[in-house]
Amino acid sequence: MKFILRILLSALAVVILAKVLPGAGVDSYTTAIIVALVLSLLNFIVKPILIILTLPVTIITFGLFLLVINAIIILLADRLIDGFYVNSIWWALLFSLLLSFLQSILFSLLKDGKKD
């Protein structure tokens, strides 16, 4: 149940960012849910592989290269999903930063609602 709520909150964040950012867009709410699912799968499977392969660059840049890895994950989702687009690596970088920010806010609201 918690996983479904997190996916729906991520989809809400994707829709909000698609409305706000001119360089990113999503066609429908169903596509936003698919984007949230694909992003969670890419973060689970592809991101650890990319981190291991780029570990020297990540260490040299004190972890800032992880921002580029997040942008690459967004661009991969763009390639995999019809109806979701990001115009460039810069929009993907901004999208990933704002998505992380929105997800942290929305997920913290989910945790606050669970307190008894």
Q: How far is CA 70 from CA 2, 32, 113, in A?
A: 23, 18, 29
Distance between start and end Cα atoms, the chain = 18
Phi, psi (5° rounding) for residue 54?
-110, 20
The model's confidence at residue 115, banded by pLDDT at 50, 70 and 90, is: low
What does R_g of the chain's alpha carbons equal in angstroms?
14
Domain boundaries, the chain: 2-111
pTM of the model: 0.88
Q: Per-residue pLDDT tens for 20-62?
A: 999 999 999 999 999 999 999 999 999 999 999 999 999 999 9
